[in-house]
Amino acid sequence: MSDTPTDYTGPQRVLSGMQPTGRLHLGNYLGALKNWVALQDEGTQECFYCVVDLHAITMPHDPDTLPDAVRSAAAAYIAAGVDPSKSAIFAQSAVPAHAELAWIFNCVARLGWLERMTQFKDKAGKDKERASVGLFTYPVLQAADILVYKATHVPVGEDQKQHLELCRDIAARFNRDYGKGEAFFPLTEPVIQGPGARVMSLRDGNAKMSKSDVSDNSRINLEDDADTIARKIKKAKTDPEPLPSEEAGLADRPEAANLVGIFAALAGKTKADILAEYGGQGFGAFKPALAEAAVQYLAPISDEYRRLISDKAEIDRILSAGAERASAVAQPIVDETKKTIGFWS
Ligand code: TYM
């Protein structure tokens, strides 16, 4: 698409979101939340952090528990350092502009693009005829989440890379078809960075740490207490070799690479820094040090989470204010988009 305008000149904005699954884990924190906070604290871009409840209903869900799951995710954002006075924190369903833009994008995205999405294949499983249509168009709604703010940066873990490429394809196609030579939407940059971009299961270094894993020992939840964190790390799968002194020595040692990566991400260091300190030592020495670091970084977050979650009214107030702030940016962008594609007004 050589004639696609890409010279977007609008303001820099950050958007990201998580599913309200009730429990966030270390992968969510190191892969995404930590970078959300860092971008917020740069103070140079407006940040929008939503809880994606529209996405949550693409799979079977429980209407009775969904509202508290949204509150729980919002509390985890705040406990991790997202500051509601700086960033808008809100439920996706409370800003109707997301769904409105998603419909328009459903008519921009091509079936072939969606058929290549690996997450749909994973989530739909073998019986894809029974998957909801919403699950299939999930990444289109994700593109709408981003572009309804004309967000230029999206901090996420590595598993979201393909969805962000789709978002750029949708923006480029829209700009080409309707932009009249201008970049109406930005080609959003994913912010996937640091050794925490892909945190793996504690039980299998080749599988992603995930809330859907049946074994709770496979992940560290943000709500886990110090004893639970220490026990899970102690039980984490490893190999019998001591740690190497160089990063190259982690090749073909997925469990060792994962634990070193987690340590590095928690401490804000590189894997090389960690290996410089622990190279040559066995896991008997390394695991207690890692557990101590994990507890040191996560304890304040889980304490704050527990405090916040006991005050539903305060969380609801934050979510309402966030939705209002987000709508004030999103609605004019949807209105402008509707005009651009020729809707009556
Ligand atoms: P979700 O809810 O699965 O995950 C939320 C965020 O956590 C990251 N993450 C991980 N990072 C590192 N290692 C892991 N093991 C790990 N597991 C999860 C994810 O990459 C993500 O950043 N489709 C999205 C939600 C979404 C969204 C958006 C994100 C909807 N609209 C718009 C960004 C922008 C999802 O299901 O994330």
Please state, in angstroms and rounded to a whole number, the distance separating the CA atoms of residues 213 and 207.
Answer: 9
What are the structural domain ranges in the chain? Answer: 13-198+312-341, 223-307
Please state, in angstroms and rounded to a whole number, the distance separating the CA atoms of residues 254 and 204.
Answer: 8
CA of 182 to the centre of ligand 1 (A): 31
Please state, in angstroms and rounded to a whole number, the distance separating the CA atoms of residues 18 and 31.
Answer: 11
Identical fold for domains 13-198+312-341 and 223-307, yes or no, is no
Average pLDDT over all residues of the chain: 95
- CA 267, chain centre distance (Å): 20
Decide: 16 in ligand 1 pocket, CB within 6 A: yes
Decide: 28 in ligand 1 pocket, CB within 6 A: yes
Contacts of 254 (CB under 8 A, 6+ apart): 200, 205, 206
Decide: 188 in ligand 1 pocket, CB within 6 A: no
Decide: 69 in ligand 1 pocket, CB within 6 A: no
pLDDT number for residue 179: 93
Contacts of 32 (CB under 8 A, 6+ apart): 16, 18, 155, 156, 157
pLDDT number for residue 202: 98
Ligand 1 pocket test: pick from 48, 160, 189, 202 the residue with the most ligand atoms within 8 Å of its Cβ: 160
Please state, in angstroms and rounded to a whole number, the distance separating the CA atoms of residues 41 and 79.
Answer: 15
How big is the CA angle at 138 (ends 130 and 321), to the nearest 5 degrees? 130
pLDDT number for residue 212: 87
What amino acid is encoded at 116 in this protein?
Answer: R
Q: CA–CA distance from 227 to each of 22, 38, 104, 282, 288 (Å)? A: 21, 28, 49, 22, 12
Q: State which ligand 1 atom lies nearest to the alpha carbon of 142.
A: 31
The verdict on whether 211 is a catalytic residue reads yes
**Residues of the chain predicted below pLDDT 70:** 1-6, 22
What amino acid is encoded at 182 in this protein?
Answer: E
pLDDT number for residue 341: 97
The structure tokens 């892969």 sit at 31
CA of 180 to the centre of ligand 1 (A): 34
Query: What SS3 state is found at 90?
Result: strand
pLDDT number for residue 288: 96
Please state, in angstroms and rounded to a whole number, the distance separating the CA atoms of residues 93 and 61.
Answer: 15
pTM of the prediction? 0.96
Tens of pLDDT, residues 200-229: 999 999 999 999 899 999 999 998 999 999
Among 51, 60, 98, 54, which Cα is nearest to 316's?
51
Q: Identify the helix (H) or strand (E) that includes residue 189.
A: strand 189-191
Residue with CA at minimum distance from ligand 1 atom 19: 157
Angular region, 239: left φ>0, alpha ψ -120 to 50, beta rest: beta
pLDDT number for residue 345: 78
pLDDT number for residue 1: 38
Q: CA–CA distance from 281 to each of 253, 274, 284 (Å)? A: 15, 11, 8
Name the superfamily (CATH) of residues 223-307: Tyrosyl-Transfer RNA Synthetase (1.10.240.10)
Q: Of these residues, 123, 161, 287, 338, which one is catalytic?
A: 123
The verdict on whether 34 is a catalytic residue reads no
pLDDT number for residue 2: 40
CA of 218 to the centre of ligand 1 (A): 18
End-to-end CA distance of the chain: 31
Q: Of these residues, 121, 128, 180, 211, which one is catalytic?
A: 211
DSSP string, 18-67: E---S--BHHHIIIIIHHHHHHHHH-SSEEEEEE-HHHHTTS---TTTHH
CA of 17 to the centre of ligand 1 (A): 7
CA of 29 to the centre of ligand 1 (A): 10
Decide: 157 in ligand 1 pocket, CB within 6 A: yes
Decide: 198 in ligand 1 pocket, CB within 6 A: yes
Question: 13-198+312-341 is classed in which CATH architecture?
Answer: 3-Layer(aba) Sandwich (3.40)
